[in-house]
Structures are given as C-alpha cells and as structure tokens.
Amino acid sequence: MHVLADELNIRLDGTIAGRLLSGLGRRIYFPKGIIAQSAEAKQAAHTANATIGIAYRGGKPLIMSSISDNLPCLKPDETVAYAPTAGVESVRQAWKDQMLRKNPSLDPKHFSLPVVVPGLTAGISYTADLFLDEGQRMFSGGPCWDNYGLIFRERRGGELTEIPFFGNGPGLNLEAIGAALREEAKTGVVRIIFNFPNNPSGYSPSRAEGDALAALIREIAEGGADVLVLCDDAYFGLFYEEDAGGESLFVRLASLHERVLAVKIDGPTKEDYAWGFRMAFVSFGSLGLDGEGIDAVIKKYMGAIRSSVSCANTPAQYLMLKTLEDPRTAGEKEGYYRMLRSRYRTVKRFIEEKGEHPVLEPLPFNSGYFMSFLCNGINAETLRRELLTRHGIGTVVLEEKYLRVAFAALDEDKIPRVYEIIYQAAEDLKNRR
C-alpha cells in the first residue's frame, strides 16, 4: 500500500471513518504530485509558476474569443483554468454558509467544509468508493432512485436492500425501518442512504419522524455498531407542507454519536435550478472525527476525485458563486418555489377529489419534484407505454409496479387533464384484463 495511504489510514485508525473504509477507501490517497505541488506553487511561486498544464499570457489563462464572448461576466481563470481538486475555496465556503442559513440548528464545528464534485451522482458514487466493499450491504428506502442500484450494486458489487418505507399509514413505516436496521446492527456495521425529499415518492419525513430516525440511529450506535448515513439532499428545500422537512436530517446526525459518520450530498442541481452545471457538494460530520480526522477523510475523497475526473467544472463553480451572491436570487427562488408548490397543491387536490381509484394508489408525497402511484392489478410498464403511445404523456416506471409523475415538469393548467388521462388509462387497462 502506498505510504501516503498508510499515513491517512494511521490518522483514521480507531475512528468511525477508519472502521468503515472499504478496500479502495484504504488504498486511496491524494498524491503529492502535480496538483499538490501546483497548489503549493500557487501560494509561494512569486517569480514564476511552471507547474500546471495551462497556457498563460500576462498571468491569465489563454481563452478563445468564442468562449469569452459568451461568458462576459467571468474572467479567464474563472472559466478555462483548472479548479482545485476539492473545489474553489470561496465556492465551498459560500455553500457552507448557505447550509448554515438553511439549517440554523447545524453546528459549524461538527461538519466539514464541503468538497465540490461533478454532480450528486458522483458524490454518492465516490462515497460508495470509500465506504462500500463487494458483498457489503447498503440500505435505501423502497422504492428508490434507480441509479442507486447501478452505484451500490453493479459498480461497487455491494448489496442494495430496499426497506419498504411506506406501509398502510400516511407517512414512513418506522417499524419496518427500525426492524431492518436493528437486525443489520448485529453484524456490527449499518450503512443506509436517506433521500428526502424522496425520488420517486416525493415524501419528506415530518419533524417527529426525523426525530424518530435520529433516535433509531443513536440507539444502534449506542449498541456498539458503526453507522454510515448518507443524506441525499438533492431536492432539499422544496417542502410544501408545514410539517414536512424543515432542516436536513444531516443536522440531527452530524454530531449525534462517535460511531455515526454522516455524509451530506447536495448541490444546486435542483435547489437552484442548475441541472446542467453538474456540480454538487459533499460534507462530512461525526463526533468520532476531530479536525485531523476530517482532513484525512477529505484527502481520501480528493484521491477519489483526482483518480477519476481530476476536478469539477470551473465555470459552473464561479457561476454558482455569483448566483449565491446575487441579490435577485432569493426572490427568484421564492417565486419558483411558489410555482412548484402550487402545482403540488393542484395534484393533491385532484387526487383528493377523485377519491380511491381501483388501480392507482398514490404513495405519500409532500415535497420535491415527483409523486408516484403503486399500480395494483396492472403492470406499470404497460401503463407507461399506453400513456406514451396513445396519449403522448411521458412518465417513468420503477420496479414494474410504480409509476412516477414529475408534476414539476407540468404547467399547472395541464395537470388536471394529464392526471385525468392517467386515471382513465389505468382503469381501462384494469377492465381489459
């Protein structure tokens, strides 16, 4: 094993992160190579910096006119230069400051400066690289985003086990979640990813449910098991009911227990309507890690980034920084939020007025971009194709039994008609059987 990996492993030995590291996680390190040496030179090479592979003129990176003309608000070093492996420092700090504003109960001493990654998918994937080995189990809610299967099962060779998050009640099936995690705790390690607001259901836990989940994780940690909790907060902030969400579950977990490592993966993709930026942030929190331990985890994370994409998109980071600093942003986001909340309410009203359907059973939803139906008595894929080929309506099927509808993509005046067609098409399929 490389000496730099050994150094980081020694710093992490005996900590929650050290115990959770995968084989790759133990092998990975951030090299003292070109990137590290260039970072040192950036601070000290006052005469000339001949480290990084960028062509400069007059101290500025060369840039094509076609690029500079279309990005007039950014300087060359904000567009075509490489970003640091962990991300632009000012962008990372600005995102952390925003996290604290949105989550006022979050203690800044108990979580790291976020690391910038090329999208939330990459953030989840790199975290799996560090903390999931072949054959090890990762829990998620069921139904879940289909990319979890690709990441945890196909890519890492782990086992993805879905816990049925919804039972017969209006919210989370806390009994099923507790039973699954307590049983897994007998192995000594529990790994789970929480995605709230959830894709595909569009559900976020109530404050009481969030407290119950945190209490469950604490109970398991106090019982002697190590717990890795990933908070996939892709749709954070899009809460449409008074008791839904509020603060991220990460707030409760980041300083919960020495045996809990919490990882928050979020970004502007959905929160700031910047889907194509392909940038996200990963933050770590644990009572079991001091500043040196957090630094070692980040160094390993930088190794995962460096060995794959090298660094995240530079102009996207600076454009995001300008967005965070722009006085128009808060008002525009509030306007978009109200628009999406109104669409949500239109869907909710339609379902409530229609009452019970013979085929379609809506899963609990109160947030995010989506809602989903459990299809009883018909194949969801058959319904999807029927909607697409006969009615020109695009939907998504998961696990052959869930039909996901992205109401965020529908103009509000179209929602009643679209849902009327979905309801009728499902009933027609049922009657044909």
CATH 3.90.1150.10 in the chain is located at 329-432
Q: What is the rounded distance in angstroms from the CA atom of residue 190 to the CA atom of residue 223? A: 12
Q: Is it the case that residue 396 has pLDDT exceeding 60?
A: yes
pLDDT in tens, 202-255: 999 999 999 999 999 999 999 999 999 999 999 999 999 999 878 999 999 999
Per cent of the chain over pLDDT 70 is 94
The larger pLDDT score, comparing residue 66 to residue 340, is at 340
129 touches 27 (CB < 8 A): no
Q: pTM of the entire structure?
A: 0.91
Span(s) in the chain for CATH 3.40.640.10: 3-30+85-325
Q: Which CATH class is domain 329-432?
A: alpha beta
Cβ contact 89:276 at 8 Å:
no
Question: Do 250 and 231 touch, CB atoms closer than 8 A?
Answer: yes
The span from the CA of 110 to the CA of 112, in Å, is 7
CB 369 within 8 A of CB 326: no
pLDDT mean over 115-127: 97
For helices 207-222 and 174-185, give the axis angle rounded to 10 degrees.
Answer: 20
Query: 3-state DSSP call for residue 201?
Result: coil
Burial (Cβ within 10 Å: 0-12, 13-18, ≥19) of residue 331: exposed
pLDDT tens by residue, 280-315: 999 999 999 999 999 999 999 999 999 999 999 999
How confident is the model at residue 126, as a pLDDT? Answer: 97
Find the range with the poorest average confidence among 41-55, 110-124, 296-310, 416-430.
Answer: 41-55
3-state secondary structure of 3: helix
Query: ω into residue 72 within 30 of 0, thus cis?
Result: no
**Which string of b and e fits 159-177 if b means at least 16 CB within 10 Å?**
ebbebebbeeeebbbbeeb
CATH topology of domain 3-30+85-325: Aspartate Aminotransferase; domain 2 (3.40.640)
